[in-house]
A and B are shown apart, each in its own frame.
Chain A
Amino acid sequence: MSSAYSSTLTLAAGAVLICAVVVLWVTSTRSMLIVVATQGTALGCVAMTLGVHVGDAGLIATAAVELAVKGLAIPVLIDRAAGGALDRERRPLVNVPASLVASAALIVLAFTAARGVATFVGATSGALVPVGVATLLVGFLVLVSRRRPIFQMVGLLLVDNGIALVAFLCTAGVPFLIEVGVSLDVLLAVVVLMVLAQRLRSEFGDLDLDELRELHD
C-alpha cells in the first residue's frame, strides 16, 4: 500500500518536472500545449494521491479543481489566444540545447538548495520537494529565454505549478479555499495575458515581446 502510494507520488511529481523540461525543448505551440495539459494533469494526480493517502476530502476536492483548471481550462484558453495559428518559437533568446543545459544546472541547484527542506519535511513527500523547486526555476528560465507571448504565459504557468507542487508536498493539504483562489488567480492572469496578446497582434501584427521597449522611461 505504502509502496504503491510512494511510487505513484514519485511518478506524478517526476512527470511535472519532465513536462517543464520538455516545454524548453519543443518549439511548436500545439505540442507545447499538450505538454502543459499533461503537466496540469500530473499536478492534479499528485494532489489526488496525497488526498487519498491522507483521506482528506478537502484535498481531493482541491485536486479535482486542479485537474479541471490546469489540465483543461488553461491549455484551452491559451490555445484560443494562439488563435489556432501554428506559430513556432523560431529564434529563442537562448537556443534549445543551451537552455536544456541551463535547466540541468538549475535542477542540480534546486536539489542542493532544497535538501534542507527535504530532510525537514521527511518521508516520501519531503524527498520530492526539490522537484517542485526545480519546476519553478525551469519555468523562470522559460520566461527569460522565450520571445513569444504564448511561451511567456506558459512560463508563468510553470512557475505557478512549481509553487503549487511544493505547497502540496510540504503541507500535505493546502486549505481548499487558498488553493482554489490561487488557481483562479492564475486563470485570471492567463485571461489578461490572452487579451493582451490578441491586442498586440491586432495592433502590431506578429511581434515579439522583445521588441516592446519603447515605454520604459
Chain B
Amino acid sequence: MTADLLIAAALVGLLAAAAGAVAPERLRAEVVSVLTVVASGCGLAVALGVLRSGRAAVVHTGRLLPLGGLSLRLDRFGALFVAVSAVVAISAMIFRLGYESHALSSRTASCVLPLFVTALILVPAAASVTTFLFVWELMAITSLLLVLVDHRRRSEVAAAAQWYAVMTQFGAAALLVALVLLATHADSQSFIAIAARSAGVPAWVRSTAFALAVVGFGSKAGMVPLHVWLPRAHPEAPGPVSALMSAAMVNLGIYGIIRVGDGLLGGGPAWWWLLLMGLGALSALFGALHAATSTDLKRLLAYSTTDNMGLVLLGIGASGLFASTGHPSLALVALVAALLHVVFHAVFKGSLFLSAGSIQQASGTRDLDRLGGLLQRMPVTGSLFLVGSAAIAALPPLCGFVSEWLLLQALLHGLPSSDLALAIALPVGVAVLALTGGLTALTFVKAAGIGLLGQPRRAQAVETREVRRSMWAGAGILATLCLVFGVAPFLILPAVLDAARTVTASHVLDPLVRGWHVGLAGAPGALAPGLLGLGLLASVVLTAGIRRALQRAAVRRTEAWGCGRELQTARMQYTATSFGEPLTRVFEDVLSPAHDLDVSHVAESRYYVEAATFHTSLEDAFERHGYRHAASALGWWGRLARRVPNGSVHRYLAFGLVALVVVLVVLG
C-alpha cells in the first residue's frame, strides 16, 4: 500500500514535469503547482504511513537504472525527512500560485521545478548506491537550473550558480568515492547489505568513507568551510525555490551524514564525532555572525541556515560522542534534539523564506537598508515573518525553543563526565549554543525591527501593498506549524524518537518524558511549552488590561522614542548596517569589513561638507583566504596542463606509446 503511494508520488511528479513542458503559458503555473502538491501529498501520506506503522515501503525493479536497477526503501528515519520535504513543498507550491515571476513560468523552469520536488522526496527513500547517487544528482542539477532561472535580469545569478555548480559537483565526487568504497568492501551496493557488513570493513576504509561523506553531505548542508555557495545561491533563487532549498534540500545533507555515520557504518571512534562537533560549532558561530551583520534579507536567512545546520551537526556529533563513550541514552536524546531541530528549522525557515519572497516581490528589494514600515503595509506577511523570527530566535511558545532547549539539556546532562573528550567538548558546545542563540536573537531583532517597523526608507516603499492570498497562505501553513509544534511537541516527538531509533538500531527505553511537558527521564528539569504559552497569553492579556485601565488618564500623543521631537524622518532611524555595526567592530578580525568614506567639500570652503557617501562591505573570510588561493592554484595548474597538448601529432602518439609501455610494465 505505502509502496504504491511512493510510486504514485514519483509518477505524479514526472507527470507534473511533463505538464510543465507542454501546458500553455496561461495555465502553466496552476497546473504545475496543483500536480506538484498532489505528488507531495502522496509523499506525505507514505511518510506518515511508514512513521505510524514502522513497516518500510519497498519498491524494487531490476530495470530503469543501470547496475542493479531502481531500489527504494523508505524506513522511519527516511520517512521523517520525506514528511518534512513534502510539507515544505506543499507550502512552497501554494505560495507559487500567487508568485509573479515570468522567469519561473518559463517552460524549462516549470518542467524542472516538479522534478526537483520529486527528487527531494525520493532521496531519503533510495536504498542502493546507484539509486541514491542518481536521485541525489537529479536533485543537484534541477536545483542548479532553478537557481539560474533569473540570470537574464541580474548578472549576480550566473556567478552564484557557478559557485553552486562547483561546490555541488565537488560534494558529489566525494560522495561517489565514499559510497563506492563502502560498496566494494561490503561486496554489495544495497544499503542494508552495507550496514550489515560494515563492521568487518578495515578501520581506515571506514574512516575515509566517513570523512568523505562529511565533506560531500556537509557541502550540501552548508557546513563551514564548504558553505560559500549557500549565501549566494539561496538568495538569488526565486522565492519558492529558495524556500525549498533552504528548508528541504539542506536537510538531506544532514540525512546523509546520519545515514552513513550511524546507519551504514553503525557509529565510529570518538574522533569522528569530535570532528563533526568542531565543524558544527564553527558553522554555527560563523553563520550566526554573518547573519547578524548582513543587510540583505535573503542573504541573512541563508547565513542563518548555515548557523542552524551547525547546531544540528553539533547535536549529531554529541550523539555519536555519547554513543562511543558508553552513554546510549544521552546519545539518543542528542540525536532526537538534532532531528527535532532539523524539522523545526525547516518549518520556520520555510516560512521566513516564503515571507521574504513576498516582501521582495511587493517592495522590489531585499536590501534591509531600503525597507521599513512593512508591518503597516503588509500586515499578514509581516505578522507571519514575525512569527518565524520569534521561532528561529527560540522564543517560547514557538517550536525553535523546544529543540534548542532539548539540545542544551542533552549537552548539560553529559557534563559531570570522567571522559576527557566529553569533559572538554560539552562545555564548549554549551557555550557555542548560548552565543549562537544570542546572535540569532540579535539578527532577527534586526530583520524584523528594521524591515517591518519604523518608517519606509524610500519613496517606493510607501506604496507597498499586501501580496496575494495564496502567497501568505503558503507561508501561513508553516507559521501555524511553528506554533502548533511549539505548544504541543508531543505531536511530533514520538515520530522523531522512532526515526532516531531506526537509524541507530538503538534499544534504549524511552529516554524522554513526553506529554504536555518534555524532559529527560530521571533528570531534573522539564519544560511545559503549553503552559508557557498559556502564561505568555495571560501576561499579554493582563498587560493590555492594565494599559487600558491606565489610558483613562489624559494622554499626550507623540512619536514613540522621538525624545519629544515633533518631526521624525526616515533618516533618523537605525539602519540594518548601523544596527550591526557594534558587532562588526567587535569581530573585526573575522569579518574584516572594508569601509569606503567619500567626502566632497563645498568649493568655497573646506570647512563645509557638501556630500558624504559611506560604503561598507563584509567579506567571507573563508572565501578570501581559502577559496581565492585554491582557485588561482587551479588556474595555474590548468595553464600548465594546457601546455602539454601542443597540437603535435607525434606528441599525442607518444602519449599512446608511453601509456602502452606503462601498462605492459605494470601488468607484465
Which residues of chain A have a CB within 8 Å of any CB of chain B? 93, 106, 109-110, 112-116, 133, 137, 140-141, 143-145, 147, 152, 209-210, 212-217
**Does B540 touch A at the CB level, under 8 Å?**
no
- Are the C-beta atoms of B649 and A209 separated by less than 8 Å? yes
Partner of A137, one of B646, B650, B661: B661
Considering only residues 278-297 of chain B, those with a C-beta below 8 Å from chain A are none
Known: A137-B660, A140-B657. A215 touches B665 (CB 8 A): no
- Extra A-B contacts (11), CB below 8 Å, given A93-B650, A140-B656, A209-B649: A109-B668, A110-B664, A137-B661, A140-B653, A141-B657, A147-B650, A209-B650, A212-B647, A213-B648, A214-B647, A217-B647
CB distance from A21 to the nearest CB of B (A): 16
**Interfacial chain A residues near B657, Cβ < 8 Å:** 137, 140-141, 143-144
Interface bits B29-73 vs A (CB < 8 Å: 1, else 0): 000000000000000000000000000000000000000000000
Q: List 11 A-B pairs, Cβ < 8 Å.
A: A109-B665, A109-B668, A110-B664, A113-B667, A133-B664, A140-B657, A143-B650, A145-B650, A209-B650, A212-B647, A215-B647
**Interfacial chain B residues near A133, Cβ < 8 Å:** 664
Distance of A214 Cα from B646 Cα, bound (Å) = 9
Q: DSSP class of A's interface residues: helix, strand, loop or mixed?
A: helix
CB distance from B510 to the nearest CB of A (A): 64
Nearest 6 interchain pairs by C-beta? A113-B668, A213-B647, A216-B647, A113-B664, A140-B657, A144-B654
CB distance from B563 to the nearest CB of A (A): 70
- Are the C-beta atoms of B660 and A140 separated by less than 8 Å? yes
Considering only residues 630-651 of chain B, those with a C-beta below 8 Å from chain A are 645-650
**Interfacial chain B residues near A144, Cβ < 8 Å:** 650, 653-654, 657
CB distance from A72 to the nearest CB of B (A): 27
**Interfacial chain A residues near B660, Cβ < 8 Å:** 137, 140
Nearest neighbor of A141 in chain B, beta-carbon distance: B657
Counting chain B CB atoms within 10 Å of each CB, the highest count among A109, A144, A217 belongs to: A144
**Interfacial chain B residues near A214, Cβ < 8 Å:** 647
Nearest neighbor of B666 in chain A, beta-carbon distance: A113
**Interfacial chain A residues near B664, Cβ < 8 Å:** 109-110, 113, 133
Which residues of chain B have a CB within 8 Å of any CB of chain A? 645-650, 653-654, 656-657, 660-661, 664-665, 667-668
Nearest neighbor of B664 in chain A, beta-carbon distance: A113
- Are the C-beta atoms of A216 and B668 separated by less than 8 Å? no
Distance of A217 Cα from B646 Cα, bound (Å) = 9
**Interfacial chain B residues near A110, Cβ < 8 Å:** 664
**Interfacial chain A residues near B648, Cβ < 8 Å:** 210, 213
CB distance from B487 to the nearest CB of A (A): 66
Known: A140-B656, A216-B645. A109 touches B650 (CB 8 A): no
Distance of A30 Cα from B170 Cα, bound (Å) = 57
- Are the C-beta atoms of B668 and A116 separated by less than 8 Å? yes
**Interfacial chain B residues near A212, Cβ < 8 Å:** 647, 649
Partner of A113, one of B646, B654, B656, B665: B665
- Are the C-beta atoms of B653 and A216 separated by less than 8 Å? no
CB distance from A111 to the nearest CB of B (A): 9
CB distance from A159 to the nearest CB of B (A): 10
**Interfacial chain B residues near A147, Cβ < 8 Å:** 650
Distance of A156 Cα from B646 Cα, bound (Å) = 22
Partner of A114, one of B647, B649, B656, B668: B668
CB distance from B654 to the nearest CB of A (A): 5
- Are the C-beta atoms of A112 and B668 separated by less than 8 Å? yes
CB distance from B649 to the nearest CB of A (A): 5
**Interfacial chain B residues near A152, Cβ < 8 Å:** 649
**Interfacial chain A residues near B656, Cβ < 8 Å:** 140
Distance of A147 Cα from B541 Cα, bound (Å) = 96
CB distance from B221 to the nearest CB of A (A): 40
Partner of A213, one of B646, B653, B665, B667: B646
CB distance from B356 to the nearest CB of A (A): 45
Distance of A16 Cα from B665 Cα, bound (Å) = 23
Nearest neighbor of A215 in chain B, beta-carbon distance: B647
Distance of A57 Cα from B369 Cα, bound (Å) = 92
Known: A113-B667, A213-B648. A143 touches B661 (CB 8 A): no
Distance of A178 Cα from B666 Cα, bound (Å) = 30
Distance of A211 Cα from B407 Cα, bound (Å) = 70
Distance of A144 Cα from B660 Cα, bound (Å) = 13
Distance of A152 Cα from B664 Cα, bound (Å) = 23
Distance of A216 Cα from B649 Cα, bound (Å) = 10
CB distance from A101 to the nearest CB of B (A): 15
Distance of A140 Cα from B656 Cα, bound (Å) = 8
- Are the C-beta atoms of A210 and B668 separated by less than 8 Å? no
Distance of A106 Cα from B662 Cα, bound (Å) = 11
**Interfacial chain A residues near B650, Cβ < 8 Å:** 93, 143-145, 147, 209-210
Known: A114-B668, A116-B668. A109 touches B647 (CB 8 A): no
Known: A140-B660, A144-B657. A210 touches B649 (CB 8 A): yes
Nearest neighbor of B658 in chain A, beta-carbon distance: A144
- Are the C-beta atoms of A115 and B668 separated by less than 8 Å? yes
CB distance from B602 to the nearest CB of A (A): 58
**Interfacial chain A residues near B645, Cβ < 8 Å:** 216
**Interfacial chain B residues near A116, Cβ < 8 Å:** 668
Counting chain A CB atoms within 10 Å of each CB, the highest count among B645, B647, B665 belongs to: B647
Distance of A217 Cα from B647 Cα, bound (Å) = 8
